[in-house]
Structure 1
């Protein structure tokens, strides 16, 4: 057994699937993870057609075979628990359809987010409760769990029926965003087919140590995103929970999309942290230890680069990430 090294193709959505796979193969990668809904479009997976037609599914799998690439995951990053009418219901449906499609395509893993409900039944927006030392915040969390538990029990049952595993990205602004909150999820939901997508960038951001998280999460790690974060000097006075951002730029040309109809706020001049290309925040030695820690847990994981560093264009970012990842792989023997 050995790791499969690939990339998430969302950053190449301006290219056809065939062109995206050619880019990944050209930098030495052998796996591809494609988006199927949620916050991000699905240009590399015609979900309706693939669900409706076995012939379309055969032809789709043939595209990967012709490129000597593996389809290693479907991603549906969204907020299926959101009270917003533009998010919750649609994202939940995207998740259901993605689980169905993963089963039909025999793709083992669906990468998703746990979601964030509102504060109460009448809430209009999702609310992320970060540090509930204030007692009323615990009451909000209990309400949010009361929304999440039955939903994820249903999704777990569907995944079990389709022989698919759901891998939660431990992303801030979600109910499940850390090892302890995932352990709460395990206790409350008792899932059979839900685990973790280990994305170290979100752990670095929160000042966690991914190597310790790997040891704690262990057999619950089902999938991995190779993505880096740099914690910057601004953290000294801003902290990593900084809220001092400016509005989305008025000029559409200056906006950074975060999903369909969503854009990133304007970053401060001296931010506390930034997502960076793999290797720009932590060196090859770190990623060598990272892969070694994962191999001790499961030597047969998929490791996919996720490029979100605006300092590099899409191709350069993937190239840099692949060089770092594959050098670490060679050193670690994983």
Structure 2
């Protein structure tokens, strides 16, 4: 296993300074944003695809810093009902997959997207209740007419480029639970899997350790984010888990993101890391910082300090005791 970081945190630093900084912290891998909801300051897709010399220099800079790329990430909504939003998101995803293939990066992270409720809709519709039955009809239409056809095509493209697609299980998008992840994977193909972020499991009432078991049995974890969440039970009692309170109003929210170890104790995180290994994930644990109580530097540094002792570096080899 390797410790990594999603470098959109450091958009204030140029590429060279960012590499030097994260390397100095003991990080071994970086996840680079290529656009969409995240910025592309450290990985400009069009430039790198068009210029082999820039691509070579890009590779060399990372090698010189003793870093590898765990994933390229283009989080967006390629199934948005407005073509002016969906089209660029789809184009970015395709280009990001092409660049990942050129760089021999094994994973591209994104969201599943969320369609509207009919062809002429203007906004996404995220059904979260089975009744009234209108929601079931919307859900059926979304999956049969939008999600499955789109991701079948992207699964074929991913396989042709020898990359995998890591969908982040995130509220507001059609794939947001282990069940919806496996449903899409079964319908579309094995290149599609999870970029599993435990922070989004906790606020949905899902135990991340159990989510790892469910997805790990199917070989469906392609990438992993390290981010924590705290549940404020009095606010949860008032607002429920689908809390629409603005993220900035932390005192009033049912839940909010924390850096690793500040929402759940390190024994919980040790269980998460151990279960990842138990179910065959021996890749990068990529820190994502969205903690509204700490600066980027402090939150990132504390996450590194908390995770370093937990990352399992050596496999068992022969069972000498049995």
TM-score per shorter chain, which class? over 0.9
The answer to whether the 8 Å contact 2:221/2:281 transfers is no
The answer for the alignment partner of 1:241 in structure 2 is: 242
1:82 aligns with 2:80: yes
SS in 1 for 2:31: strand
Runs of 4+ in structure 1 over 4 Å off = 330-334
The answer to whether the 8 Å contact 2:190/2:220 transfers is no
The answer to whether the 8 Å contact 1:291/1:332 transfers is no
> How big is the shift at 1:331?
10
Distance 2:285 2:229 in 1: 17
The answer for the alignment partner of 1:186 in structure 2 is: 185
The count of corresponding residues between Structure 1 and Structure 2 is 312
Structure 2 spans left out of the alignment, 5+ residues: 317-322
The answer for the alignment partner of 1:275 in structure 2 is: 257
The answer to whether the 8 Å contact 1:284/1:327 transfers is no
| Higher deviation after alignment, 37-46 or 105-114 | 37-46
> How big is the shift at 1:22?
1.9
The answer to whether the 8 Å contact 1:36/1:98 transfers is yes
The answer to whether the 8 Å contact 1:72/1:108 transfers is yes
The answer for the alignment partner of 1:112 in structure 2 is: 110
The answer for the alignment partner of 1:315 in structure 2 is: 297
Change (3 A) 1:331 1:91: closer
The answer for the alignment partner of 1:155 in structure 2 is: 154
SS in 2 for 1:327: coil
The answer for the alignment partner of 1:252 in structure 2 is: none
The answer to whether the 8 Å contact 2:75/2:110 transfers is yes
The answer for the alignment partner of 1:52 in structure 2 is: 50
Change (3 A) 1:48 1:61: same
The answer to whether the 8 Å contact 2:276/2:282 transfers is no
The answer for the alignment partner of 1:10 in structure 2 is: 8
Change (3 A) 1:86 1:14: farther
The answer to whether the 8 Å contact 1:9/1:34 transfers is yes
TM-score by structure 1 length?
0.89
The answer to whether the 8 Å contact 1:11/1:307 transfers is yes
Distance 1:241 1:11 in 2: 26
TM alignment of 1:156-171, pairs within 5 A: 156-171=155-170
Distance 2:286 2:312 in 1: 16
> How big is the shift at 1:198?
1.1
Distance 1:5 1:269 in 2: 31
Match of 1:207 among 202, 205, 208: 205
SS in 2 for 1:329: coil
Structure 1 spans left out of the alignment, 5+ residues: 247-263
> How big is the shift at 1:286?
1.0
The answer to whether the 8 Å contact 2:227/2:258 transfers is yes
The answer for the alignment partner of 1:286 in structure 2 is: 268
Distance 1:104 1:163 in 2: 10
The answer to whether the 8 Å contact 1:33/1:71 transfers is yes
TM alignment of 1:241-260, pairs within 5 A: 241-243=242-244, 245=245
C-alpha RMSD of matched pairs (Å):
1.7
SS in 1 for 2:310: helix
The answer to whether the 8 Å contact 1:37/1:95 transfers is no
Distance 2:18 2:137 in 1: 46
The answer to whether the 8 Å contact 1:285/1:328 transfers is no
Distance 1:292 1:225 in 2: 15
